[in-house]
Amino acid sequence: MTGESAVLQLEAERATEVCAEHGEGPVWDPSTGQLHWVDMLAGELLTMVPGGIIGRTKLGTVAAVARPVVGGGLVLALERGFALLRPGKQTPESLPQLWSDPSIRMNDGGCDARGRFYAGSMAYDESPGKGTLWRLDGALRATRVLDGVTISNGLVWTEEGDSAFYVDTPTGRVDRFDVDEHTGEPHNRRPAVRVPNELGSPDGLALDAEGCLWVALWRGGAVHRYSPDGQLLTRVRVPTPQVTACAFGGPRMETLYITTSRQGRDDRDDGSSGALFRVTPGVRGTPVHPFRLEADE
């Protein structure tokens, strides 16, 4: 790993007041110029519109992750499956539940370059191997992609779509998959980044235009930037320990937005946990891939 003296040190600033118990999953929607994220276990979608005003939409018992849809609206992972939030609507259209076990819920996810939505599940008590990575295609068919997951977290594809990065948090790693150019199936999983336990646990992910990976560190109070070969390049300090996810946004994709959590904290008096943070790191992000319904293909 790169020596600490060679690592660029940045400080995140608070972009909002404390607004979430467990903030997660930020995503920039370029079609609306809005940032979305979730207060996951409150089941709420948060939206920051131009001017900094935050709107809230109640989606259900759990709002795990949201991604833009080509043509408008959002695709969602809720507690036990997928849903669509149509443009202008406040109530999601839920698809059939994927399981009935109340001890399992959805967690983080994202869309591949073919416009398919993935979200991974986990046990509420974090029991090892109880989670599954699921895929929703443009015909709204759900498929199991990866079993034996514990805490399915960050998932992001390269702009070209030939590689994907994935976090199962207890492994302490970000893994890289090759992606089949014809089927979109991931294969050839191998470690891309290893995060020492004392620095926190890897959570949400973002990619920048230079091919570097940004990793939110749960209980690490930071976001790290890693080179394509896994070298630590930049540390963004966040003044609260439970950093959950990050995403580039803004008209030029120059701002890194960072979500945080207050969940389970005995010490909640730092005045920052649950707020949204931001930093301008000097590099642009790559836009996330949107969900594409079959009618749009």
Q: Residue 184: which pLDDT band, with cuts at 50, 70 and 90?
A: confident
Mean pLDDT for 141-169 is: 95
Q: What is the mean pLDDT of residues 41-63?
A: 91
Q: Percent of the chain at pLDDT above 70? A: 96
Counting Cα atoms < 13 Å in the Cβ hemisphere of 276 gives 26
Rounded Cα–Cα distance for residues 20 and 38 (Å) = 8
Categorize the per-residue pLDDT at 2 as very low, low, confident or very high, splitting at 50, 70 and 90.
very low
Give the up-direction half-sphere exposure of residue 212: CA atoms within 13 A in the CB hemisphere: 18
Cα 103 to the center of its chain, rounded Å: 22
- CA distances to 45, 81, 274 from 96, rounded to whole Å, are 20, 7, 31
Which among 202, 236, 230, 232 is positioned nearest to 216, based on CA atoms? Answer: 202
> Residue-wise over 137-172: b if at least 16 C-beta within 10 A, else e?
bbeeebeeebeebbbbbbbbbbeeeebbbbbbbebb
Give the DSSP letter of residue 251: T
Residue of higher predicted confidence among 14 and 88: 14
pLDDT at 137 over 90: yes
How far is residue 41's CA from residue 62's CA, in Å, rounded to a whole number? 5
User: What residues are paired with 83 via a beta bridge?
Assistant: 76, 94
Residues 259-289 pLDDT 10s: 999 998 876 667 899 999 999 999 999 999 9
DSSP one-letter string for 71-139? TSSEEEEESSSEEEE-TT-SS-EEPPPS---TTEEEEEEEE-TTS-EEEEEEETT--TT-EEEEEE-TT
What is the Rg, in whole angstroms, of the alpha carbon atoms belonging to the chain? 17
Active site members: 203
pLDDT band at 296 (very low <50, low <70, confident <90, very high): low
> Sorting pLDDT into bands at 50, 70 and 90, what band is 49?
confident
**What does the pLDDT read at residue 183?**
81
